[in-house]
Amino acid sequence: MIDRTLDKRYTVLEHIGGGGMADVYRAHDKLLDRSVAVKVLRSQFANDEEFVTRFRREAQAAARLSHHNIVNMYDVGKDEEVHYIVMEYISGETLKERILREPLPIEMAVRIAADIAEALEHAHQNNLVHCDIKPHNILMTRAGRIKVTDFGIARAVSSVTMHHTATIIGSVHYFSPEQAKGTVVGAKSDIYSLGVVLYEMLTGTVPFNGETPISIALKHLQEEPRPIRELKPEVPPLLEAIVLKAMAKDVANRYNDISEMITDLKSVQNYFRDDHTRRLSRGDFPTQILPRLDEPIASQVNTGAVEESDNNHLLKKKNSKKVVWGLVSLLLFGFMIGAFFAFGKFWSNNEVTVPNVVGKQVEIARSILVNQNLRVNVSESFSDKVPTGHVISQSPEADNIVKEQRMINLVVSKGGEITVVPDLRGLNRRDAELQIKNAGFVLGRIDEQFNADAPIDTIINQQPRPSAQVNKNTAIDLVISKGSGPRKFALPDFRGTPLNTVNTQIESLKLKVGKVVEEVSDKYPVGTIIGQSPSPATEITEGASVDFTVAKGSSTSTTKKAVVQITVPEGAIRQAVQVVITDANGRRVVYENVHKPGDKIEKTVDGIGQVRVQVYINGVLLQEQTI
């Protein structure tokens, strides 16, 4: 996999981890120029269609999570036979590595547990259960921030884990009893696993151990863990009670939800905080031995009280004047300081023209302003139009004349605000456009395609793809279904049919009459279709056009005449005789009468072009000739 580029975007750089189901690599996202973590499904699971389907569905569900304690899910894809998930790359270590390296202080363990619980709370609120909470799936950044990973993949694994025993050795220590029994798993299963993780952080060891995964699973069902305070007496009883409640074997005896556990963990955090910061209150006076007050002492106190009262009155009057003058001086000093910060050396005669630094890199802008004897204050703001680190605006604006040392406020770009592209597939056009607007994007190009699996006006594709992280105000291109598409069928043969009689049939087939070309023909009557394009039996789509070639009479054609002789054959006493002519002017009956057998009939006929004469007796063709 090293040096391979997935979907022409993610170049795999190095292997950084793995487990029973997947390998994890550090990769470079060429589109957004950043490091990402790519989790690649192992080949033995790639051919399990049910597993792959759940893998993708759960990964997409996890991508909807957005929380500072959850590793961000960026993308899900498939390149040839490789199924992969693209996630946020975290530079640090796992919680398991931290526990093995050195014991965790109790306060740190509580803080980490609270962070994990808040991540789970967000997931549970989005109807997603992790199912595989363990220290190996908790990442710690170099700054100490907690990131929960493996959302989605654990849920996909849960349906087949018991068929791949080797893949659960690392997880069975943290199983809930219901997971060990293979029954329904819910949010309280995550609470149990978090209790096991907290137990390990406090004691340095897991609560249940054994030689085989099955023996450990049985202990989750049948045994109680060794009390935490036996292993570490300094753990507060309240904290031990939280662990025991989270690890209750009966689901009903655990916390109702993760929020209740968070409340108790914060109570423990407050306990430690109060223990470190508690001060002596006004009522906490120490016990003292005081001498008994004798009468002389009391009288001395009373005698001097009057004199002291007078002196105090004079002192108060003097002190009140000092306080007033002090406040006035303080206000004046504050005003001068504020004026200096706002307007520079307002007492100075030196003035400066503010240079224009909009669009410049912030350090260059700062240097220009400082060289003009001005001070600089920088604030940041998102902008998809101004490059990162460049000045968006300044106040006062350029060309204003100000006192030297005036404060110039610069707003510097942080680049475009990054946000996750919503999944619009399956939505109708109106709802999709609303989601695009609410997410801070703009509507891009709209294409339409026929799709038998999607209703008309439904989104069937989009670009950028769902879960991609792009700048706000990015254009989202949509592909909208036009429905199942027009019907296809074999084109009928219209040749030999008058043109004016096919219009109804053409309309019923949802076709259109295209170009009509006339061609001289002695074989067909005027207006008869003698050719068509496409040809008969060709597959054609509704809405298509059909071109026709129609016969027309020749201007040079001469009239032809002939005498037709008919002898009525033996048969019925009354026989109907009919003479039919077909020429360039069409088909017509030129003689029609009733005769008896043996009658002889002569009839002169004429026609234009090629003339065909047909004689019918009682509707049956008797003779035919061409003149």
Q: How many CA atoms lie within 13 A of 583 on its CB side?
A: 22
What distances in angstroms separate CA 392 from CA 8, 168, 401, 472, one per listed residue?
34, 54, 21, 17
* Residue 185 in tokens: 């798993």
Instruction: In whole angstroms, give the CA distance from residue 381 to residue 388.
Output: 10
Instruction: In whole angstroms, give the CA distance from residue 330 to residue 445.
Output: 64
**480 in Cβ contact with 447 (< 8 Å):** yes
DSSP 230: H
State CA 564 to chain mean position distance. 87
Conformation bin of residue 373: beta by default, left when phi > 0, alpha when psi is -120 to 50: left
Give the active site residue among 132, 190, 264, 583. 132
* Residue 226 in tokens: 């060794």
Instruction: In whole angstroms, give the CA distance from residue 405 to residue 370.
Output: 9
Buried b (16+ CB within 10 A) or exposed e, 14-52: eeeeebbbbbbbbbbbeeeeeebbbbbbeeebbeeeebb
Active site residue 477: no
**124 in Cβ contact with 190 (< 8 Å):** yes
Instruction: In whole angstroms, give the CA distance from residue 407 to residue 424.
Output: 47
**467 in Cβ contact with 60 (< 8 Å):** yes
| Beta-bridge mates of residue 382 | none
Angle in degrees, 0-180, between the axes of helices 258-277 and 237-246, rounded to the nearest 10: 170
Q: Strand order of the sheet with strand 391-395? A: 375-381, 407-413, 391-395
**473 in Cβ contact with 441 (< 8 Å):** yes
Catalytic residues: 132
